Structure 1
Amino acid sequence: MDEILACEDTRAKSLLLQCCCAPCSSHCLTVLEDKISITAYYYNPNITDRTEHDKRAEELKRLVGILNSEFPGADIEYAEGPFEPEKFFEVARGLEQEPERGARCAKCFELRLRETARKAKAEGYDYFATTLTLSPLKDARLINEIGERIAREEGVSWLCSDFKKKEGFKHSVELSDKYGLYRQDYCGCPFSKRGN
C-alpha cells in the first residue's frame, strides 16, 4: 500500500474501503484521508443481529462526519450495503464449529471482499481494500491473498494493506477513546460471540 500511495499521485484516485466497524476504520481513514479519495463502505453480512449491525453502521457514519469536520480538505464518503445475513449463513454452512481464524473466517472475508470488488468495479472506483487487516486477530497475509485473487477475477485493483503495522491497532484504540466510539467485543458473527 505505501508503495502505491508513494509512487502514484493517488489523490485523484478513488478507493472503496470495506469497513468492518468504526474503531478499526478510525486508524485506516486517518492514514488514507489525504492520500486518496475514500468511500467508507459498510458491508458486513456476518453481523446477523440487526440491532448490532445497525449500531455499528451508525457509529461508522458518525466517525466519517467527525473526520470530515476535523481534517481540512477531507471528503470521505459513506456508503452502506444491504443487511444480508442469509449470505453469511450460506457461506458458513458446514463451518459453524470452525475455530476463530479458521475456514469460516476465510469464507467470510471472501464474501465481503467480493461484494466490495463488484461494487467498486460497477461504480468506477480505482481500488478496493478493507479495514480488516488492522485487527491483531486477523491474518493480513490471508486477507491480501483473497483480495488479490478477487481483484484478478473481478477486474478491479486491490490496495494491499496491513493496517496493524506501525502501531495501527494501538492508534485505533486511542482514536476510539478520543471520539468516544463504540468498541464491540466480538468480530460480528454469532460464532465469534460464543467465547464472550
Structure 2
Amino acid sequence: MSDDFTRPVLTPPGGHKKVLLHSCCAPCSGEVMEAMTASGIDYTIFFYNPNIHPEKEYLLRKDENIRFAEAHDVPFVDCDYDTENWYARAKGMEWEPERGIRCTMCFDMRFERTALYAHEHGFPVMTSSLGISRWKDMKQINGCGERAVAPYDGLEYWDYNWRKGGGSNRMIEISKREEFYQQEYCGCVYSLRDTNRHRREVGRGPIEIGKMFYGSEPASDE
C-alpha cells in the first residue's frame, strides 16, 4: 500500500489489534484500509450493503472492493444481498431526505449484521468506512454503531474520525491512483431517484451506471 505519507499510529479501543471493518465501497474504505495497515492492525472487511440499487451498481461496488482487498491480502467477507429485508424496513420512509430516518434505519441494519458477525467470529472491535465521506453525518453513523454493539459483551464500536488529518483528501487520492469506480449517488433506489431529479433540475442527464471512474472526471466523494 502507499507509503508516501507518514500516518499517526492508530490504536483501536482497548488496545485491540483485531478489527472488523464494515465497508460500503472501495473509495471510502481505501484510506481506512491503508491507515489500519500502516498501524499494524489485523482487520477483515465485511461487505454487507443490501441498500445498493440496482444489482449492477451493487456488483460494481463490491467487485472494486474485492479487487483492492485481494491486491493487499486483506480478508474479505461477502455477505448476503438481502434486498427484500431492506425494502421491508424502508417501507413508509420512501420520501425521507438524505441523512434522515431512512438513512438511520439503513445504517442500523448494516451495522447490526456486522456486529453479529463480529460477535460470532471473535472480533473485539468493529468500525466502518461510511463516515469518511463528507456527505455523511458522523454523529448519525456513530450512534448506529454504538447501538449495534450494545447487545454484545466484549464488542466495541470504534468511532474514529477517518476524515481528520487529511483522510478525506487521501481517500480521493487513493481512488484516483487505483482508478476506482466512482458512484454518483449514495446507493439506494431512493437516493438514485432524488439524485436524478436534481440532475434534471440543473440540466444534466441521468446517471449512467458503470461509466464513471476516478481520474477520468472531476471526482466527488459520494
TM-score in same-fold range (> 0.5):
yes
SS at match of 1:105: helix
Contact 1:140 1:161 (8 Å CA) reproduced: no
Report what 1:16 is aligned to: 20
Deviations 1:127-160 (A, max 9, x none): 1111001011111112112211221123321111
Query: Aligned partners of 1:185, 1:16: CA distance in 2, in Å?
Result: 26
Contact 2:45 2:74 (8 Å CA) reproduced: yes
Report what 2:60 is aligned to: 55
SS at match of 1:33: helix
The answer to which structure has the higher helix fraction is 1
Report what 1:170 is aligned to: 169
SS at match of 2:162: coil
**Structure 2: segments with no counterpart, 5+ residues:** 1-7, 197-222
* Aligned 1:1-196 pairs, distance under 5 A: 5=11, 9-10=15-16, 13-35=17-39, 36-66=41-71, 68=72, 75-155=73-153, 156-194=155-193, 195-196=195-196
The CA RMSD measured in Å over matched residues stands at 1.9
Query: Aligned partners of 1:27, 1:173: CA distance in 2, in Å?
Result: 9
Distance of aligned partners of 1:108 and 1:139 in 2 relative to their CA distance in 1, 3 Å threshold: same
Contact 2:124 2:156 (8 Å CA) reproduced: yes
Larger radius of gyration: 2
Report what 1:71 is aligned to: none
Query: Aligned partners of 1:153, 1:120: CA distance in 2, in Å?
Result: 12
Contact 1:144 1:161 (8 Å CA) reproduced: no
Query: Aligned partners of 1:3, 1:56: CA distance in 2, in Å?
Result: 29
Contact 2:32 2:162 (8 Å CA) reproduced: yes
Deviations 1:96-147 (A, max 9, x none): 0001111100000000001000000001111111100101111111211221
Query: Aligned partners of 1:18, 1:42: CA distance in 2, in Å?
Result: 6
| Structure 1 outlier segments of 4+, above 3 Å | 6-10
Distance of aligned partners of 1:163 and 1:5 in 2 relative to their CA distance in 1, 3 Å threshold: same
**Bigger mean CA offset, 180-189 vs 47-56:** 47-56
Query: Aligned partners of 1:119, 1:109: CA distance in 2, in Å?
Result: 15
**Bigger mean CA offset, 148-157 vs 99-108:** 148-157
**Structure 1: segments with no counterpart, 5+ residues:** 69-74
- Identity rate of aligned residues, in percent? 33
Contact 2:13 2:156 (8 Å CA) reproduced: no
Query: Aligned partners of 1:16, 1:176: CA distance in 2, in Å?
Result: 22
* Aligned length, in residue pairs: 186
